[in-house]
Amino acid sequence: KTPIAILISGRGSNMRALIDSCARPDYPARIALVLSNNPDAPGLEVARAAGLEAHAIDHRPYRRDREAHERALDAALRAAGVEYVCLAGYMRLLTPFLTTAWAGRMLNIHPSLLPAFAGLHTHERALESRVRIHGCTVHLVTEGMDEGPILGQAAVPVLAGDTPDTLAARVLRQEHRLYPAALHHVLAPRTAPEPHETDCLLSV
């Protein structure tokens, strides 16, 4: 199994989905490390309860030097023997130091159908734009925010009466399917399950 790290900033529900997939014997990744920039991230406790090594590397002492924070992250990733990094609700912009160091080996999940709605508040903006299909994207991380090559997308309908919260919940259910599927395709494309023919909403 390929050793991966998961970087979080908050509740860690996408991390939880990856933990559950990695627990399956036939899944090609194992979680070597969970890191958070936020010492109070509830996801850190979720990871520890699952028996994982989970640490906070607080960004605040590095406020004047983003790259120094990333050098600390990078050192922890390398010390743990990590080969791939999954950003899962990691809410810090990265500098070219980290995106270059992990080019092709760092994935992110974003709650919109990129290239639509890069950045924050994606569900509010989708509703304001009156799109009828919304969703989530897993992509490789590059220097530009939410700009890297797309690995997979899952779509959901926008329903009459949706609020940002109801739409976010519908997208999140798909995020939890998409992220493990996309990572499987990256690490072991030959053993990754094909999306169902009838499942037009999931494309990896």
| Binding residues for ligand GAR restricted to 43-82, rule: CB under 6 A | 43
Question: From the list 12, 135, 148, 180, which residue makes contact with ligand GAR (rule: CB under 6 A)?
Answer: 12
108 is an annotated ligand-binding site residue? yes
110 annotated active-site: yes
Identify which of residues 43 and 148 has a Cβ nearer to ligand GAR in the complex.
43
| Binding residues for ligand GAR restricted to 155-174, rule: CB under 6 A | 172
Q: CA 160, 164, 168 angle in degrees (round to 5)?
A: 100
Identify which of residues 8 and 73 has a Cβ nearer to ligand GAR in the complex.
8
Counting residues that bind ligand GAR (by CB under 6 A) gives 14
Q: CA 10 to CA 36: how far, in whole Å?
A: 8
Annotated catalytic residue within 59, 69, 110, 185:
110
Q: CA 5 to CA 177: how far, in whole Å?
A: 18
Which listed range, 50-58, 60-68, 107-115, 192-200, lies at the site for ligand GAR (CB under 6 A)?
107-115
Question: From the list 27, 85, 138, 175, which residue makes contact with ligand GAR (rule: CB under 6 A)?
Answer: 175
Q: Given strand 106-110, what is the order of strands in its sheet?
A: 54-56, 29-36, 2-8, 84-87, 106-110, 133-140, 150-157, 202-203
177 is an annotated ligand-binding site residue? no
Decide: is 183 part of the binding site for ligand GAR (CB under 6 A): no
Q: Please list the alpha-helical segments (H only) found in the chain.
A: 13-22, 42-49, 66-79, 96-101, 122-129, 164-187
Decide: is 13 part of the binding site for ligand GAR (CB under 6 A): yes
**Lookup result for tokens 């160091």:** 101
Decide: is 11 part of the binding site for ligand GAR (CB under 6 A): yes
Decide: is 153 part of the binding site for ligand GAR (CB under 6 A): no
* 121 torsion bin: left (phi>0), alpha (psi -120 to 50), beta (else): left
Q: CA 185 to CA 139: how far, in whole Å?
A: 12
**Lookup result for tokens 């922890």:** 76
Q: CA 149 to CA 139: how far, in whole Å?
A: 5
For helices 42-49 and 13-22, give the axis angle rounded to 10 degrees. 20
13 is an annotated ligand-binding site residue? yes
Q: Smallest distance from the beta carbon of 97 to ligand GAR, in angstroms?
A: 19
* Residues catalogued as catalytic: 110
Residue ranges of the binding site = 12-14, 66, 91-94, 108
Question: Using CB under 6 A as the criterion, which residues of the chain lie in contact with ligand GAR when the complex forms?
Answer: 8, 10-14, 43, 88-89, 109-111, 172, 175
